[in-house]
Amino acid sequence: MAASGAVEPGPPGAAVAPSSALAPPPAADHLFRPISAEDEEQQPTEIESLCMNCYCNGMTRLLLTKIPFFREIIVSSFSCEHCGWNNTEIQSAGRVQDQGVRYTLTVRAPEDMNREVVKTDSATTRIPELDFEIPAFSQKGALTTVEGLITRAISGLEQDQPARRANKDATAERIDEFIVKLKELKQVASPFTLIIDDPSGNSFVENPHAPQKDDSLVITHYNRTQHQKEMLGLQEEAPAEKPEEEDLRNEVLQFNTNCPECNAPAQTNMKLVQIPHFKEVIIMATNCENCGHRTNEVKSGGAVEPLGTRITLHITDPSDMTRDLLKSETCSVEIPELEFELGMAVLGGKFTTLEGLLKDIRELVTKNPFTLGDSSNPCQKERLQEFSQKMDQIIEGNMKAHFIMDDPAGNSYLQNVYAPEDDPEMKVERYKRTFDQNEELGLNDMKTEGYEAGLASQR
């Protein structure tokens, strides 16, 4: 193709209006035919359209064609017989490609100047030897040759030279010198490099040896940068917005229930609490306005742990009484110095301090109706009084003792005041549950895998 096939820049495109002289549309299979001068059936579609220069009617010609070893393009040409204005440009008939493309052509012979080139609006053209660049979106798309690209660049630089010379602009002389260098490139006196970089991936440089490899042409595909995506108007799909989950940690839920003492209607408050360095627990409290009865209970917010937990605290200072403590329903308590042991489920689940739990234990033991009254054994009564005195000494910090919490479910907790460092007075052990402990927790009969097959066979 001669250099005259280059696309010249012009005013905005013509406004197209349908005409009664439209040719019948070709079959879908032959909509894009390979470009060829010998194909007589490949004729452009002519559409009468408005000239945006003189506002008279001109003629737009559209040619849907296919570049060999490339893809489909639309070549459009407009001419106005009234004012003589004309404009030609190309558009890709496909979508923006998944990756950008960069063609690096080393021009060594005059034959390379005749290579077909498809340059889209978004392509940047560079000639490193001359430090020359045509930025993206500064020219319309073109179906031309390498020689046509250089000729088009020369025409663009010469366009305003007469005005620069008349104004004695200092840049006019430098531009003339640069134009001479561009014209010398057309003679291919020495090899030079032509780079076409198109983020849309729709530009093309012909390989005359196709489908064989061209040693003078290097094709590089690359992922677009964020700036290039914005330049092409591409927007990444925003991730689907997940519905906002209701945060129950900051809310106190209420539900209606009956008082366990007088059976009057009452309300139970429930709140989800995150214990630092442990897990979430559910605190439930009921307050009866009829009889004044109050009760509170703590439930573990998680599953049964794989291992049981045994926590041993050596009480050496009154400040130990302020440690936060979570005792689940499955936790037993032992104080060896008092020869005391509290079994599972006694006192229920509690979230309190060590002092609060010890006081609850003292009250539970000393106010037991079966150990008080006239029928009580004097020896037993004396032992209870001794137990109560020693418990008071522990609470006041006057007696050292060991406090042991053993929870096979692993859902109990005692605050480590040195966290995240180890507490020298506290020992936390993880152990494997025995068969009897699993039996008490109901884990031996619990089947969590493969139960669907058993249900299907029963049906």
- The per-residue pLDDT for 195 is 95
- The per-residue pLDDT for 170 is 82
Q: What is the pTM of this model?
A: 0.42
- The per-residue pLDDT for 167 is 85
> Is the CATH number 2.30.40.10 carried by domain 31-94?
no
Cα gap 17→20, rounded to integer Å: 10
Residue pair 330/408 in contact by the 8 Å Cβ criterion: yes
Mark the ranges of the chain whose per-residue pLDDT is less than 50: 1-29
Residue pair 115/145 in contact by the 8 Å Cβ criterion: yes
**Burial of residue 57, with CB atoms counted within 10 A of its CB: 0-12 exposed, 13-18 middle, 19 or more buried:** middle
* CATH no., domain 98-232: 2.60.120.1040
Q: What is the CATH class of 249-302?
A: mainly beta
- The per-residue pLDDT for 193 is 94
**φ/ψ (deg, to 5) at 312:** -120, 120
Q: Token pair of 436, please?
A: 């009897």
Neighbours of 260 (CB within 10 A): 11
Cα gap 105→186, rounded to integer Å: 14
Topology of domain 306-370+380-445 in CATH is: Jelly Rolls (2.60.120)
Domain residue extents for the chain: 31-94, 98-232, 249-302, 306-370+380-445
Question: Which helix or strand (DSSP H or E) is residue 389 part of?
Answer: helix 378-396
List b or e across 77-107, with b for residues whose CB sees 16 or more CB atoms inside 10 angstroms.
bbbbeeeebbbbbbebeeebbeebbbbbbeb
**Burial of residue 13, with CB atoms counted within 10 A of its CB: 0-12 exposed, 13-18 middle, 19 or more buried:** middle
Cα gap 268→274, rounded to integer Å: 20
- What lies within 8 Å, CB to CB, of 75 at 6+ separation is 44, 62, 63, 65, 88, 90, 143
Domains 31-94 and 98-232 fall in the same CATH topology: no
- The per-residue pLDDT for 313 is 92
**To which residue do tokens 């090899």 refer?**
191
Cα gap 10→361, rounded to integer Å: 95
Tell which residue, 83, 51, 81, 48, has the closest CA to residue 62.
48
